[in-house]
Structure 1
Amino acid sequence: MSATTLRLQGDTSYDVVVGHHLTDRLPALLGDGVVRVAVIHPTAMADRARALRHALDAAGFAAHGIEVPDGETAKTARVAEFCWSVLGQAGFTRSDAVVTLGGGSATDLGGFVAATWLRGVEVVHVPTTLLGMVDAAVGGKTGINTDEGKNLVGSFHHPAGVLCDLSTLETLPRNELVSGMAEVVKCGFIADPEILSIVERSPATAMRVGSEEQRELVERAIQVKLDVVAGDFKETGGAAGHPGREALNYGHTLGHAIERAESYRYRHGAAISIGMVFVAELARLAGRLDDVTAARHADLLSAVGLPTSYDGAPWGDLLASMRLDKKSRGDLLRFVVLEGVARPVVLEGPSTDLLEQAFAAVRPRTPR
């Protein structure tokens, strides 16, 4: 099957290519004038990064490897400083480029390094996880974590292009595939009901690597993000009451608090899944969402193997962490909720009692 090219339209345009064995597309995305290319990758991707560097060398580039820790542990100021040091020692100029290879953490970190080196050099993302393909690699958000929270330091920096090589999913651990489905399902709830229908018709087929359904889900989720970002790149707000880019944070306020509480050992998709069940219940209790759609969240997420309850950090700790969320304004907590499928809105300042009631819905029930 041939590759599919999805394009971000706007002041800055770029292509997201979805298909199999796409390495030969990389030179064209890097463009003319690039001499040096830094491949930023986690330790787990060392073999693939080596092969990618050889391909870049063969195409006439001077490829350098920058190996960083696996997962969220890479997203620190210290690791970013290490990457900047390598770029400096290798003589990277504004006409050179960065390539990220790996999951969402490598994309977030590598994108941030590219955005800040000489105030911005080109970056091409080559995500190797489902989560990276449908979320981190698309949209131009970059970031690192601090002790106070996730992605609190970052910048907006569009990539020159994205290569989503579906063949990399063939060796992806099952739990990583499940984690990525949270962002796919999120796109269904906030914008594209057909995503939900595809998953509900056959969760097993939707999860099967190589299936036409999985590819359609990937392409649909990417298109949702491209459409939202095109209308609101820097998260300043959408039109006609739509929350704009904030809608992509559906379920993320509690999700990020859980990740922080668990020292980022909890998978992103698992945390976001719980966060979506929480905000669905919050919307129901606030009179914004009907019972059936609220219940649909837990049913659909659990069907693909995602958790819908959480028995970890105390509620008070999570609430304090949520107050540092990027959507908050002063002391005012703000949540993206639904008034129906594909009808996201912002709920401002819900009472502490209402929040605690909604959180009770994601606490495991004690057997009688």
Structure 2
Amino acid sequence: MSAPMSDAPLAVHVPLDGGRAYDILIGRGLVAEAGARAAALGARAAGIVTDETVAELYGARIRESLEAAGLRAGLIVVAPGEASKSYAGYAAVCDGLLALKIERGDLVVALGGGVVGDLAGFAAATLRRGVRFVQVPTTLLAQVDSSVGGKTGINSPLGKNLVGAFHQPRLVLADTATLDTLSEREMRAGYAEVAKYGLIGDADFFGWCETNWRGIFSGGPERDEAVAICCRAKAGVVVRDEREDGERALLNLGHTFGHALERLTGYDSARLVHGEGVAIGLALAFRFSARLGLCSGQEAGRVANHLALAGLPTRLAQVPGGCGDADALLDAMAQDKKVRDGALTFILARGIGRSFIAPGIDRAEVRAFLEDELRAG
């Protein structure tokens, strides 16, 4: 018998057209409900894609939930970390799903963090030219950002997320109880994406984060509230600009710098995880904005101080093993998805909650800024 539905998970609706609307459900205990919720979508089978760490914690639980609801289910387990978001990892997941005889009317279930969600989602987007999928994010970063909006993909040796597709999930189950098992480092990394939403367009939310961030970390009611606020903000952007033709690029605040750092550290999570790169990128974006006279140095300092208080890095010198020189960083940025006609595009800020898209930024200006940041230590 399948688990009873949760009494009152928080719900965020993503009202996309063409029959592609879906719900994001947020609350404790939703992993146990995956079977009943998947059955409600009309699926008969599910291929669960997860990594070794998450499989040990929740793999059997979600498979039992799906089977109890009458679905045929199987697990495909990859190694944890960005290295799995590769051509080889993608091929292994696709072959695993085909071996499970997953059909277009079935489901791919992404159980894990952002790496698993991106990888499983891309496999679902391309397997049999498109299979439905469900996101069950188990990290803070995935719950507030990567599981929502339909961006899927893998990394190339030339850059991050350069091979992928837009493929919206049919349902997102954000079980906030799964965050209880995260390491402190992973919680901090996810928190960078939480703070990002305030910095993009909601100064009041950033102020709320400054007051309530400890409750998010400790699992108080602030956690569910923060996840819901971030999902609501992202859902609004996705509905207005699903394929990142304009406004959605704002969600990449800090990511031009952050993705370059990930590439230069070889996607080695022992050195740098995505959220840490984003945190450094956020601080850099505000300091660069201040350098250009767009915002005050005081606001840039406030951003860096809060991220540091939450235990996040804010300086290039904090990248273990270093990140190369200014030219190496610029070369890595040249593969950013926002590059147009070879010109760099940044997300900059006129203040906290006042971010904007800044195309055609002068490379010499960026290089001089990076050299100063590298010297700053």
Q: Which residue is 2:46 aligned to?
A: 37
Are positions 1:314 and 2:317 aligned together? no
Aligned counterparts, 1:22-171, within 5 A: 22=30, 23-29=32-38, 31-47=40-56, 48-171=58-181
Distance 1:343 1:30, change over 3 A: farther
Deviation at 1:292, TM superposition (A): 2.4
1:223 Cα deviation after fit: 1.2
Q: Is the 8 A contact 1:207 1:304 kept in 2?
A: no
Matches of 2:375 and 2:211 in 1, distance apart?
27
Measured in 2, the distance between the counterparts of 1:26 and 1:186 equals 33
1:271 and 2:277 matched? yes
3-state SS of paired residue (2:105): coil
Q: C-alpha displacement at 1:118, in angstroms? A: 1.1
The 2-side partners of 1:364 and 1:223 are apart by: 39
Alpha-carbon distance in structure 2 between the residues aligned to 1:220 and 1:357:
37
User: What's the secondary structure of 1:349's corresponding residue?
Assistant: strand
Cα displacement string for residues 318-354 of structure 1 (whole angstroms, at most 9, x for unaligned residues) = 1001011000012110001112333222222222332
Kept in 1, the 8 Å contact 2:39–2:70? The answer is no
Q: CA deviation at 1:298?
A: 0.5
Number of the residue aligned with 1:180: 190
Quote the residue 1:241 is aligned against.
none
What is the alpha-carbon distance in structure 1 between the residues aligned to residue 312 and residue 39 of structure 2?
36
Does 2:204 correspond to 1:201? no
Aligned to 1:13: 21
Runs of 4+ in 1 over 3 A off after TM superposition: 29-33, 360-366
| Alignment-derived partner of residue 223 in structure 1 | 232
Shift of 1:167: 0.6
Counterpart residue number, 1:356: 367
Q: Is the 8 A contact 1:274 1:362 kept in 2?
A: no
Distance between the aligned counterparts of 1:335 and 1:32, measured in 2? 40
Instruction: Check conservation: 1:45, 1:101, Cα contact below 8 A.
Output: yes
Matches within 5 A, 1:245-264: 245-264=248-267
C-alpha distance in structure 1 between counterparts of 2:101 and 2:9, whole Å: 35
1:240 aligns with: none
| TM-score normalized by the length of structure 1 | 0.93
Once structures 1 and 2 are overlaid, which stretch shifts more, 271-280 or 144-153?
271-280
Partners of 2:354 and 2:255 lie apart in 1 by 17
1:25 CA drift (Å): 4.7
Identity within the alignment, %: 36
Structure 1 distance, partners of 2:39, 2:292, is 48
Q: CA RMSD in A?
A: 1.6
Alpha-carbon offset, residue 30 of structure 1:
5.3
After superposing the two structures, state which structure 1 stretch, 354-363 or 222-231, moved more: 354-363
Q: 1:102 to 1:32 in 2, by over 3 A?
A: closer
Per-residue CA deviations over 1:239-289 (Å, capped at 9, x if unaligned) read xxxxx1000000000100100111112111110111111111222222222
Deviates more, 1:17-26 or 1:270-279: 17-26
How many aligned residue pairs are there?
Answer: 359
So what's the TM-score if we normalise by structure 2? 0.91
Are the equivalent residues in 2 in contact too, given 1:310–1:364 (CA < 8 A)?
no
Confirm or deny: 8 A CA contact 1:123 1:160 kept in the other structure: yes
1:282–1:354 CA contact under 8 A, matched in 2: no
* 1:333 maps to 2:333: no
Taking the aligned partners of 1:88 and 1:199, their CA distance within structure 2 comes to 44
Task: Find the residue that maps to 2:73 and give its secondary structure.
Answer: strand
For the residues of structure 2 that align with 1:360 and 1:184, how far apart are their CA atoms?
A: 29
Between the aligned partners of 2:41 and 2:176, the Cα distance in structure 1 is 26
Distance 2:367 2:359 in 1: 15
CA deviation string 1:201-225 (max 9, x = no partner): 25433422x2122222221111111
Q: Which runs of 5+ in 2 are unaligned?
A: 1-6
**Alignment partners' CA distance in 2, 1:184 and 1:358:** 26
Say which SS state the counterpart of residue 47 (structure 2) adopts.
strand
